[in-house]
Amino acid sequence: MSVQKPQSAVLPQRPAQFWLVGSCAFTSMASMRICDAMLPAFAQDFSVTQGRAAGAISAFALAYGVLQLLYGPLGDRFGKTRVIGLATLACTVGSVLAAMAPSMEWLVAARVLSGGAAAGIIPLAMAWIGDTVPYQGRQAVLAQLLGATVFGMISGQWVGGALAHAWGWRSAFWVLALLFCCAGMFLTRQLAAAQPRVQSTPAGLVEGFQSVLRNPWARVVLLVTALEGAFAFSALAFIPSDLHLRFGLSMPVAGGLVALYGVGGLVYSRAAKRMLARWREPELARAGGICIGVAFAAMALAPHWSFIPPACLLAGFGFYALHNTLQANATQMVPAARGTAVSLFACSLFLGQSAGIFGAAWVVDHLGASAVFAVCGAGLFMVGAVFAMLLQRQGPP
């Protein structure tokens, strides 16, 4: 009852905003993962290695992570949904420039712009839910937002790869630009009609960051999140190209198999209510680490591509079980500066992702993708186990 009551009382109050914010989150995640199945095409068109082509992914992640430090305070001050809408419109420009890229350097620069703009979407959506939903029901509501982001990931990896195969990789960026434009316009128009109040930040910019970083539990959550991003996303980025090179699968087929990672996350989002009613947060984090660790180990050792689909499903389920637990804790680290706190959370995640992909690109070029999967699987197993232990010591918020 304690989980369901906040949801039924809160979500219907702003159904249009919840739907539109979810649409923006969907498109931003599609943009984040859209290059995963395109690395061979980038390498061929621009005459670069797979490792250099992966710069289109790491550049997005780096800009996404750094710009969190700007968007969190902006959301606290001017209104989180307002900033989300404007950031979504700005993503349109980055997608158009990516579609027009004449060189790898141009494409990387366009991805920096897209990542910098997309930085103002999902983290502020999480902070907005934190402002709106009491903690007892928050993880279940965050799981609904997770559903939108998972659909975005599936679309970015699979539909993006299919569009690239059928009409060239540039077509995928044109479709992405259209989605960003529509979602951003509808959200900003809805907010203009509602005439929302300008919010005020309870602390100044520096004070807001200090209030988060002085909190010992916040520092733990941020460190664990950076490790999670480094291990999980660096492995995920190289699955499609590994399936193509190791097993001879076409990129659309490889992208479709990897999309099962998102399906695993979607399964978790649908099961989250029941799992949260039976399991405590430490148990959920530990189970998530076990699942994704076993899954990546299976990918590293797989003798045939048929082992990959169930491994992707298990990895997606495990990752989101662990990550959603981290998200819920991030929204409660410092309630007085929630936008800033969640922005630091996202900054840690995607700076970790950028560093992880940078290191994984070197490993792929020298040792192969299987080595990346093995290391990342072991790392995520340990991350889940250690965070579960720390949660038990910390106790409920």
Structure-token pair, residue 69? 């430090």
- For residue 300, the one-letter residue type is A
Q: Mind spelling out the 3-state secondary structure of 41-57?
A: HHHHHHCCCHHHHCHHH
Q: Tell me what the mean pLDDT of segment 252-274 comes to.
A: 79
Predicted pLDDT of residue 4: 35
Predicted pLDDT of residue 384: 92
Most distant CA atoms of the chain, gap in Å: 59
Predicted pLDDT of residue 5: 38
User: Is 7 among the domain residues?
Assistant: no
User: Is 248 among the domain residues?
Assistant: yes
User: Is 262 among the domain residues?
Assistant: yes
Local confidence band at 363 (pLDDT 50, 70, 90 cut-offs): confident
DSSP 215: -
User: Is 163 among the domain residues?
Assistant: yes
Q: Which residue has the tokens 């001050």?
A: 77
| For the ranges 1-10, 59-68, 277-286, 313-322, the one whose mean pLDDT is highest | 313-322
Predicted pLDDT of residue 320: 86
180 and 56 Cβ atoms separated by less than 8 Å: no
User: Is 3 among the domain residues?
Assistant: no
Residue 392's SS3 state is: helix
Chain mean pLDDT for the chain = 81
Q: Give the percent of the chain with pLDDT over 90.
A: 17
Q: Tell me what the mean pLDDT of segment 103-119 comes to.
A: 90
CA 300-385-396 angle, to 5 degrees, is: 145
- For residue 161, the one-letter residue type is G
Lowest mean pLDDT among 47-61, 219-233, 280-294: 47-61
Tens digit of pLDDT for each residue in 315-350?
989 998 898 889 888 888 877 777 788 888 877 887
215 and 338 Cβ atoms separated by less than 8 Å: no
CB 304: neighbour CB atoms within 10 A?
Answer: 7
User: Is 321 among the domain residues?
Assistant: yes
Q: At what angle do helices 216-237 and 338-366 cross, to 10 degrees?
A: 40
Total domain count, the chain: 1
124 and 339 Cβ atoms separated by less than 8 Å: yes
> Domain of 349?
13-390
HSE at residue 340, side-chain half, CA atoms within 13 A, is 22
The enclosing domain of 83 has a CATH number of 1.20.1250.20
Predicted pLDDT of residue 117: 92
Q: How far is Cα 351 from Cα 58, in angstroms, rounded to an integer?
A: 9
Tens digit of pLDDT for each residue in 264-312?
888 887 787 788 778 888 888 899 999 999 999 998 888 888 888 899 9
What's the whole-model pTM score?
0.70
Tens digit of pLDDT for each residue in 151-200?
787 778 777 777 877 888 888 899 999 999 998 888 887 765 554 444 44
CB neighbour list of residue 94: distance below 8 Å, 6 or more residues apart: 110, 111, 112, 113, 114, 115, 116, 117
User: Is 395 among the domain residues?
Assistant: no
User: Is 176 among the domain residues?
Assistant: yes
Predicted pLDDT of residue 314: 93
Predicted pLDDT of residue 268: 86
